[in-house]
Amino acid sequence: MTEPINYFVIYKSKNYSKVVADLLPSALDGKNFDTKNLNMLIDSLNKLKRFDEAVDIGKKFIGEVFAFPFIWQNSPHNKDQTIKPETIKTAEWLIAHAKKDPTYFVYLNPLLMVVEYHIVGHNFARAKQLLGDILPEQLKTERGEIMVDGKKVSLKSDKMKFLKLKFDLAKGEKEFETALSIINQLIEIDPWDIWFKREKAIILVETGHIEESVNIYMELISRRKEWFLYHEVAKLALKMNRNEDAQKFFSKAFILADKQISHYTWHLFIDIAKFLETMGKEEHRKRDLADYVFHSAINDEGNKPQEMLKYFQFLGI
């Protein structure tokens, strides 16, 4: 039996012509095309400067384009982790055969991994089933420490990992009041965790408490200057018709995002362009998009500007 070709290996070896030669015909035909190769095909076309074809393929598979992990998940403030199905099979076996004791790491660690896998995949029913009747008070609260760049960093306890997954599950199912209750428990355990506070701010928007959410963001940006925090609070300022505040926050986000890889920040530039357009600053809007194109062009890690600009046009931006 012939082994399937691993196009990831070919792509990483920079044999873009081979990727395109093999994958483009089936992508154009729409038959027998494995969309897991879509990202590699589009980027290979870009690397070969076949920008129009890259955009055509992007349009053809626009649903899959928006499902790309590098767009929605692999951002600098989200966990960048891909768990392989083979790993999940092993973890499922351990869950089935290990002693059903939530204090036993051989049982709990694989279980938490599988739950995370299913939450990311939106299989919420399976995630909920796996969490079953485990209660937070059954879990260990001890937190280990590791050294990172010469500094001690506290690890999450088993209880915190469990509660975070319960939070992600509630958030995924749009049970925002439940999610808010859980994130408050996590903040009670670690009041200084910026990411827990940020998650609370996001949930407060969903429950209609925008002013409270803004207050949390103001606390966070006083402690940590991150472009995405300024971006998020800028959008909240717009919701509250505080255009001057929005302009200030967008400006700060723009400056801080300057050195980021462009495929992390393209949504920021779109929001800035839309904001400038609503403010009647059409020339600024055009200049801002031109700025984005410039930053993309000098950073080969991101999407090529020709492709992204055509996506803007295609999406009506």
**Domain residue ranges in the chain:** 7-67, 81-191
* Residue closest to 194 by CA, chosen among 302, 42, 202: 202
What per-residue confidence (pLDDT) applies to 63?
52
b/e string for 99-110 if b means 16 or more Cβ within 10 A? Answer: eeebeeeebbbb
The pLDDT confidence band at residue 38, using thresholds 50, 70 and 90, is confident
Q: Name the range with the highest mean pLDDT among 24-33, 128-137, 147-156, 212-221.
A: 212-221
At 238-271, the pLDDT tens digits run 999 999 999 999 989 988 887 776 556 767 877 8
| 3-state DSSP of the chain | CCCCCCHHHHHHCCCHHHHHHHHHHHHHHCCCCCHHHHHHHHHHHHHCCCHHHHHHHHHHCHHHHHCCHHHHCCCCCCCCCCCCHHHHHHHHHHHHHCCCCCCCHHHHHHHHHHHHHHHHCCCHHHHHHHHCCCCHHHCCCCCCEEEECCEEEECCCHHHHHHHHHHHHHHHCCCHHHHHHHHHHHHHHCCCCHHHHHHHHHHHHHCCCHHHHHHHHHHHHHHCCCHHHHHHHHHHHHHCCCHHHHHHHHHHHHHHHHHCCHHHHHHHHHHHHHHHHHCCCHHHHHHHHHHHHHHHHCCCCCCCHHHHHHHHHHCCC
Cα–Cα dist 132/148, whole Å: 35
What per-residue confidence (pLDDT) applies to 74?
36
Average pLDDT value over all residues in the chain: 80
What per-residue confidence (pLDDT) applies to 82?
56
What per-residue confidence (pLDDT) applies to 2?
56
pLDDT beyond 70 at 310: no
What per-residue confidence (pLDDT) applies to 270?
73
Q: Name the range with the highest mean pLDDT among 15-19, 158-162, 257-261.
A: 158-162
Is residue 20 a contact partner of residue 41, using CB atoms and an 8 Å limit? yes
What per-residue confidence (pLDDT) applies to 281?
60
pLDDT beyond 60 at 197: yes
What per-residue confidence (pLDDT) applies to 311?
46
What per-residue confidence (pLDDT) applies to 120?
86
What per-residue confidence (pLDDT) applies to 219?
97
The pLDDT confidence band at residue 40, using thresholds 50, 70 and 90, is confident
At 107-154, the pLDDT tens digits run 999 999 999 999 988 899 999 999 987 998 999 999 888 877 788 888
pLDDT beyond 70 at 85: yes
What per-residue confidence (pLDDT) applies to 188?
97
Q: Say which residue, 211 or 273, is predicted with more confidence.
A: 211
Contacts of 233 (CB under 8 A, 6+ apart): 214, 217, 218, 221, 249
Share of the chain above pLDDT 90, in %: 40
What per-residue confidence (pLDDT) applies to 244?
92
Which whole number is the average pLDDT over 96-100? 88
What per-residue confidence (pLDDT) applies to 283?
52
pLDDT beyond 80 at 278: no
Report how far apart, in Å, the C-alpha atoms of 242 and of each of 124, 236, 247 are.
37, 9, 9
Place of tokens 């940020």: 198
Cα–Cα dist 196/199, whole Å: 5
Cα–Cα dist 214/240, whole Å: 10
Which whole number is the average pLDDT over 294-306? 47
Lowest mean pLDDT among 26-30, 83-87, 172-176, 287-291: 287-291
Q: Report residue 132: phi and psi, to 5°.
A: 50, -130
Which whole number is the average pLDDT over 162-177? 96
pTM surpassing 0.75? no
